[in-house]
Amino acid sequence: MMNSTPIWDQNLIQRYNGAGPRYTSYPTAVQFDSQFDIQKYENNACYSAEQIKPLSLYFHIPFCSHICYYCACNKIVTKHRDRADAYLDYLYKEIEMQAALYSPEQRVEQLHFGGGTPTFLSEGQITALMNHIRQHFNLMDSEFADYSIELDPREVDWSMMGTLRDQGFNRISMGVQDLDPKVQAAVNRVQPESMIQSILDASRVMAFQSVHMDLIYGLPFQNTNSFMNTIDRVIDMAPDRLSLFNYAHLPHRFKPQRRINDADLPAPEMKLEILQKSTERLLEQGYVYIGMDHFALPDDDLAIAQEDGTLHRNFQGYTTHSHCDLVGMGISSISQVGDTYIQNSTEEAQYYGALDKNQLPTVRGLQMTADDKIRQAVITRLICQFELEFDKIEKQFGINFRDYFHQELERLEPMLNDGLLSLSNDNKLKVSPSGKLLIRNICMQFDYYLNQPEMKEKPLYSKVI
């Protein structure tokens, strides 16, 4: 099995801990163009239909009944549950318009509801939405399907869990963040451990295949001891997958974060210590480091895919469905079909207005160039497999790797000298255990757009650690 265990090197982390993309796509969404011709996407959708390619569907449910002060997601905070009725009517229309571009023979292997809070919807609304999706797309009635939904523990009971299972969902993702009551109160996300355990119990009784938990480090009042207590209690719960996200405090960009007192945040040194100790504890307890804040149990699909070389990364994060075209629906959703990306409007009124005109609510997009495709393959292999064989890229794209990427290889020299990665005589780049936590930095050297003079400041991205 691939050695996925990273090694914490404080000196390297301090030296390289700058800002950079998370590479849920290449090119990143920063490069999407508002002048994109939607016909290019529709042409790719038709080709996808002709090839009977399997599909991955994403649905964005933007509503939240509570505001979490740390949140930087695209959301609509409201106590008015009936507001979702109008949204669903428009989402139904978008579903119909998108489905018309595809073939009923294309199987939906992956489906995900994200948000916001998807369980803002009632059981009846979720059932109606799934029925509408079934009418227009070829959903799989099989445990081989990968159908997941993000849950807010405060919004879910056993009845809702039963409805989700009946509707075909077999994976759940929970926002846990931190189990410390003082931290929860400071970020307005109060959810007792018993509430989380109840959902976990329901998922196991009802035979959900996988449970994912999100944790966040860097929140107010956190320290190493308190967060390690959370880590240990979460390990006892044994989620199949776990994400450990860095809280980026950007109150000038995200208004809810202004309710967090800067003085209550852990110092940068404390944040790094929290991440180090948490990572070490998870690895000690048998979790596999997938990469980019993600961990999984050894028998999880992600760990198996990383081992056999089929792991992929897209806007849904790490995935085992690299062969699927991704169709996103709802406010702010992003689709990746063939060599095109499109993104929907992030504004409710604009989203509704486009659909009223019988237009897809797309506001930006991109068609990849030949160079984009080469660099996407390089970055994906590095970020998913922690290694890169030049000859595979050469055979796939008909290039001489060293000639094509001579500038990039020069930029990698300091990293090679610092031991972040190695280059063997048989032209294989391999990320070292001490380089795995800095994989974003390594990928950034192959990012054409990021290495243009006007992008040197990288103001749009969070720090890599």
Same domain, 414 and 305: no
Q: Is the domain of 3 the same as that of 146?
A: no
335 within a domain of the structure (yes/no): no
pTM assigned to the model: 0.94
Tens place of pLDDT per residue across the chain (465 aa): 344 578 888 889 888 988 889 899 999 999 999 999 999 999 999 999 999 999 999 999 999 999 999 998 888 999 898 899 999 999 999 999 999 999 999 999 999 999 999 999 999 999 999 999 999 999 998 878 999 999 999 999 999 999 999 999 999 999 999 999 999 999 999 999 999 999 999 999 999 999 999 999 999 999 999 999 999 999 999 999 999 999 989 898 889 999 999 999 999 899 999 999 999 999 999 999 999 889 999 999 999 999 999 999 988 889 998 899 999 999 999 999 999 999 999 999 999 999 999 999 999 999 999 999 999 999 999 999 999 999 999 999 999 999 999 999 999 999 999 999 999 988 999 999 999 999 999 999 999 999 887 665 555 677 777
Query: Using alpha carbons only, what angle is made at residue 373 by residues 372 and 378, rounded to the nearest 5 degrees?
Result: 95
Q: Please, where are the H alpha helices in 33-122?
A: 38-51, 83-99
- Look at residue 445 and tell me if it is in a domain: yes
Distance CA 187, CA 71 (A): 9
- My answer on whether 239 and 92 are in the same domain is yes
Of the three residues 304, 328, 352, the one that is the final residue of a domain is 328
Q: Are residues 50 and 15 in the same domain?
A: no
C-alpha to C-alpha distance for 190 and 261, rounded to whole angstroms: 18
Same domain, 123 and 174: yes
Where in the sequence is the domain holding 239, given as residue range(s)?
31-328
- Domain annotation covers residue 337: no
Same domain flag for 411 and 447: yes
- Round to whole Å and give the CA distance between 435 and 424: 16
Are both 82 and 154 inside the same structural domain? yes
State the Rg of the chain over Cα. 22
Dump pLDDT digits (tens) for 174-204: 999 999 999 999 999 999 999 999 999 999 9
Q: Does residue 202 fall inside a structural domain?
A: yes
411/288 same-domain check: no
CATH number assigned to the domain comprising residue 410: 1.10.10.920
Q: What is the CATH number of the domain that holds 257?
A: 3.80.30.20
Q: 151 and 297: one domain?
A: yes
Structural domains counted in the chain? 2
Domain boundary among 306, 328, 350: 328
Per-residue pLDDT tens digits for 211-223: 999 999 999 999 9
Mark out the alpha helices in 167-211 (DSSP H runs): 181-186, 193-205
Pairwise CA distance, residues 149 & 167, whole Å: 11
What does the alpha-carbon distance between residue 296 and residue 344 come to, in Å, rounded to a whole number?
Answer: 31
Residues 89, 12, single domain; the answer is no
Q: Quick one: CA dihedral 234, 239, 240, 246, positive or negative?
A: negative
Is residue 348 included in any domain, yes or no? Answer: no
Does residue 340 lie in a domain region? no
Indicate whether 282 and 428 sit together in one domain: no
What ranges make up the beta strands (E) of 307-459? Answer: 312-314, 317-319, 325-329, 334-337, 340-344, 362-367, 387-389, 421-423, 428-431
**Residue 152 placed within a domain:** yes
* Final residue before a domain boundary, out of 275, 309, 328: 328
Flag whether 145 is in a domain. yes
Same domain, 293 and 437: no
Q: Contact, 55 vs 106, CB < 8 A?
A: yes
